[in-house]
Amino acid sequence: MHCLPKNYCHKMKNLIPFILMCLSTWICGQFIEIIWVYLILIFIISWVYSKKGMYSFWFGFISVSIVWGIQMVLKDLPNQGVLSGYVAELFPMKSRWFIYILTLLAGALPAGLISYSAKLIKGNQ
């Protein structure tokens, strides 16, 4: 008797590129001074694990936004958000949440686009 659902292995195969993208983004954010290197790794992961349609875009976008969000909170909490408050004063919204969303979009949008580009360059499956 098999206690797992029939499509369990298929769902786990979908998690592999997501987890790899999260790990590569986290490692680049922690140990590499030029943080945009993560885009090269996401391109390679998307090339190897090409998804159909816009799934490739969303895999890259969501994985990087989750990791950057966690890193942002971990770096902002120890200083009680002083730096993000100063940066928020430069914008008309004057809200730290606006800075958080802007930062997430600055990292996640290029990741989603590079992930989708890898799918398009690889071609249809």
**Residue range 73-115, pLDDT digits in tens:** 888 889 888 888 888 888 888 888 888 899 899 999 999 999 9
Give the pLDDT mean for 4-20: 72
What's the length of the chain?
A: 125
CB 28 within 8 A of CB 37: yes
- pTM of the complete model: 0.81
pLDDT band at 1 (very low <50, low <70, confident <90, very high): very low
Instruction: Tell me the C-alpha distance between 54 and 104, whole Å.
Output: 19
